A and B are shown apart, each in its own frame.
Chain A
Amino acid sequence: MPSKRLFDRIDSIQLRGVTKKYDDRFAINDVSIDIEGGELVIFIGPSGSGKTTTLRMINRLIEPDSGTILINDQDIMELEPVALRRNIGYVIQNIGLFPHMNIAENIGLVAKLESWDEKKIKDRVEYLLDFVSLPSEMFMDRYPHQLSGGQQQRVGLARALMMDPPLLLMDEPFGALDPILRKQLQEEFYQIREKLGKTIIFVTHDIEEAFKLGDRIAIMDDAKLVQIGTAEELIFHPANEMVASIVDTSKKFKHLDTLKIKDLISPLECMYVHDGSLDVESAISSMIEKNIEIAVVSNGSGPLGIVKLIDLLRMDDKESKIIDHVVEIPSFSRNELLSSSLKIMQKDGHSMAFVMTDGKLSGFLFPNDAFSQVIG
């Protein structure tokens, strides 16, 4: 039986004095927040600070002991939980894909329960897979265990978007991924966020992620909301020591001019390196197996550039060599100054660079990431 569409857009979400106790311990203590429609609000704080509990209250997975939560001025306790949840997209760290269903079935499950006809489900699943950069004809029939971590997380996002909910709840969606993959998915998410045009509430423990993605950042500690504001507000007017230590301003601002590339390097692991003579087909399977989204193409003596998995997947000629598809990226020595390198990269629009040590590849530099670390 189809459940009602509760809201087509979010005008406001308000938490009013929300409190939740487990035995004597506060999980959330008198939290009040106003969130505007279309905003991306990030909850950050140490583990046990109540950020995930707050998120899970918005789709009633946890119910408050006191206080009210209003979506578009309507008390969510008056809404039917199943209907409420089907109107809210939900993405979690462990992804929770069902291993016995293929990707199309995973994404389309709720639509099927809502009695959509098969054609409509299939069209929407195809659209969403392409939207998250997974070619639908390749991925529809696969099972979750055949996908890399990054691909599973993309499927998780597609699944949350299936019912086109105006509100997305994301609980550490990139938390389980390795650093390089996490950065790439953050990048992609940042780019598709505009297209989504949704209100998003996002939990993380990674301040760089918060600065990179959030419109406003809510800092939680010990079950309380300590401060909410833009990155600028938090950096220049931290409410207390705890906020200052999370945004870590004092430490990094001092070194802004002296930072070198080596301070912000993302180390290279040898699994990223692929020989240029490899054909596209085998490079794809190798990258999926290693759970990586970017491969460094080398010609034996040194790195030539990179190839991205999503680009390889889209290629028609799977027999061709990856050396023909290399995207060149700048390379810097690890002792160069960060500020000048960033300028060069920004000018040419590169999103990553190689870092060389003694003429050998030793890591990557992601300017957006480096930049957010610096301002953070």
Chain B
Amino acid sequence: MVTLETILSHTADHLVLVVMTLIISICISMPLAFGSLYNKRFGYVVIKFANLAQAVPSFAVVAIVVPLMGIGFYPAVVAILLRALLPIIKNTYIGLSTVDPSMLDYADGIGLNEWQILRYVRLPNAYPAIFAGIKFAFILINSIAILTAYIGSGGLGELIFQGLVAFNNEKILAGAIPAILIAIAFDIIFTRIEKKLTPHYRK
């Protein structure tokens, strides 16, 4: 028998883990993506690294962190981060760099400086791609945060693993259903924010 209290406390732990990791990954990815735009070599290294981190299977990333950092909440954050960076970096970079050249040429031609081009041309055009990257990153974060229960991150994964070991379906569902609901809720919230930020010019 799983009490509501257990579910709520695990859900709260899970939320702290995923939201914190998302915020950190945005804070790391954005400067890397912007930096990549203005320095080709830096961009090359960043994208290579992010691709590499993405190529490692999720469970392996979680495992690799243990010999380096031990187990617990923070090692889990690092493991999840490694997977969450790529979609945000890549989408932000692609969004910022694939702007219609005639638009950039025009912006240059009417005397916008580099910063103004970023602010008025590149960024607004990149919003849809950036938001898609963040949404995808969150889906990865939410699912890997289940796995990291294995290395002691706590959260909903803990319930699921306990349920699996004990063949306790009730426990498995008590972990899985809130995790699914979190994913759906986040998607709805972020779609709302995206709509507010981007003007309705694409229809």
Tell me whether A86 and B111 are in contact in the complex, defined as CB-CB below 8 angstroms, given that A92-B106, A96-B105, A100-B124 are known contacts.
yes
Q: How far is the CA of A82 from the CA of B120 in the complex (A)?
A: 16
By a CB distance below 8 angstroms, the chain B residues around A94 are: 100, 102, 106
How many interface residues does B have (CB within 8 Å)? Answer: 22
Q: Quick check: B109 and A85 within 8 Å, CB to CB?
A: yes
Q: Quick check: A98 and B110 within 8 Å, CB to CB?
A: no
Tell me whether A100 and B110 are in contact in the complex, defined as CB-CB below 8 angstroms, given that A92-B105, A94-B102 are known contacts.
no
Residues of B bordering A, CB below 8 Å: 100, 102-103, 105-113, 116, 120-121, 124-125, 198-199, 201-203
Closest Cβ of chain A to B195, distance in Å, is 14
Q: Is A43 an interface residue (CB 8 A)?
A: no
- A92, A95, A96, A113, most chain B CB atoms within 10 A: A96
How many interface residues does A have (CB within 8 Å)? Answer: 29
Cβ 8 A contact of A96, one of B106, B111, B202: B106
Q: Quick check: A110 and B110 within 8 Å, CB to CB?
A: yes
Q: Is A327 an interface residue (CB 8 A)?
A: no
Q: Quick check: B201 and A143 within 8 Å, CB to CB?
A: yes
Closest Cβ of chain B to A192, distance in Å, is 20
A67-92 toward B: CB 8 Å interface, digit per residue (1/0)?
00000000000000111111000101
Residues of A bordering B, CB below 8 Å: 3, 56, 59, 61, 81-86, 90, 92, 94-96, 98-102, 109-110, 113, 143-145, 159-160, 169
By a CB distance below 8 angstroms, the chain B residues around A143 are: 199, 201
Residue of B nearest to A110 (CB): B110
Cβ 8 A contact of A86, one of B106, B107, B110: B110
Cβ 8 A contact of B111, one of A84, A99, A100, A159: A84
Residue of B nearest to A84 (CB): B111
By a CB distance below 8 angstroms, the chain A residues around B120 are: 98, 101, 109
Closest Cβ of chain A to B116, distance in Å, is 6
Tell me whether A100 and B201 are in contact in the complex, defined as CB-CB below 8 angstroms, given that A83-B111, A85-B111, A109-B120 are known contacts.
yes
By a CB distance below 8 angstroms, the chain B residues around A82 are: 111-113
Q: For the complex, would chain B's binding face be called helix, strand, loop or mixed by DSSP majority?
A: helix
By a CB distance below 8 angstroms, the chain B residues around A102 are: 199
Q: Quick check: B198 and A96 within 8 Å, CB to CB?
A: no
Can you name 13 A-B pairs with beta carbons within 8 Å? Answer: A56-B109, A90-B106, A94-B102, A96-B100, A96-B106, A101-B120, A101-B199, A109-B112, A110-B110, A110-B111, A113-B116, A145-B202, A160-B110
Count A-B contacts at CB 8 Å.
69
By a CB distance below 8 angstroms, the chain B residues around A92 are: 102, 105-106, 109
Tell me whether A100 and B125 are in contact in the complex, defined as CB-CB below 8 angstroms, given that A82-B113, A110-B110 are known contacts.
yes
Q: How far is the CA of A51 from the CA of B196 in the complex (A)?
A: 44
Residue of A nearest to B198 (CB): A100
Residue of B nearest to A3 (CB): B111
Closest Cβ of chain A to B4, distance in Å, is 46
Q: Quick check: A61 and B105 within 8 Å, CB to CB?
A: yes
By a CB distance below 8 angstroms, the chain A residues around B198 are: 100
By a CB distance below 8 angstroms, the chain B residues around A3 are: 111
By a CB distance below 8 angstroms, the chain A residues around B111 are: 3, 81-86, 110
By a CB distance below 8 angstroms, the chain A residues around B201 are: 99-100, 143-145
Cβ 8 A contact of B109, one of A61, A98, A101: A61
Q: Quick check: B102 and A98 within 8 Å, CB to CB?
A: no
Q: How far is the CA of A101 from the CA of B203 in the complex (A)?
A: 14
Q: How far is the CA of A143 from the CA of B201 in the complex (A)?
A: 6
By a CB distance below 8 angstroms, the chain A residues around B100 are: 94, 96
Known: A81-B111, A95-B106. 20 other contacts (CB 8 A): A61-B108, A83-B111, A90-B106, A92-B109, A94-B100, A96-B103, A96-B105, A96-B107, A98-B124, A99-B202, A100-B124, A101-B120, A102-B199, A109-B110, A109-B120, A110-B110, A110-B111, A113-B112, A144-B201, A145-B202
